[in-house]
Chain A
């Protein structure tokens, strides 16, 4: 199993630009999570899906962030327009209906 796959690994963009982060969960995992990690805030849950449906997006700034899961093997997190405060490492994680998540390698986003 290749694990949770995220792309790109690094992204540098200018303020105001659109950014799309991608995630492929482990096959058979029904839950998919998007976390953001910064030194100040730690690991914050942005949104999570169960069987492709959004279950909780209360941690996501909805004016600029959107998350989709069009099929069981693909999810995107889009930021439009991006701002410098969005600079962080974004992790995707997946899980079956059991504790313990498998995290992807993350996308390091820098907004200048």
Chain B
């Protein structure tokens, strides 16, 4: 089977840097994705890592270590609008489908 673990909540201050960790267990692995979801909204795709290392997209970066079954999402220069839930998700064996973690709720304070 597949399982993912991420913290349930993280609080940070506007302008700061925050890291959201994700560990996973899968019977097969193709890649790790990150999604953002604001309250009442739909999940929005942020990034995807298939290989080890860091991927940077503007203020957001995502990291993957396949040997450690671990990844993280790094958010820099936090803004109030970054307050949302962030989901890590794995694409594993069994076809082209993605299983989502329970999500991390990020609170950004002024």
Q: Is the CB–CB distance between B97 and A43 below 8 Å?
A: no
Interface residues, chain B, with chain A CB atoms under 8 Å away? 31, 33, 41-45, 48, 50, 87, 91, 94-103
Q: Which residues of A contact B (CB under 8 A)?
A: 31, 33, 35, 42-43, 45, 48, 50, 55-56, 91, 93, 97, 99-106
- Ranked 4 nearest A-B pairs via Cβ: A103-B42, A100-B45, A43-B100, A99-B48
Q: Is the CB of B42 within 8 A of A56?
A: no
Do the beta carbons of B98 and A106 come within 8 Å of each other?
Answer: no
For A42, A45, A102, the residue with the greatest tally of chain B CB atoms inside 10 Å of its CB is: A42
Q: Are B97 and A33 in contact (CB under 8 A)?
A: yes
A23 to B28, CA, bound (A): 30
- Contact among A42, A48, A101 for B45, CB-based, below 8 A: A101
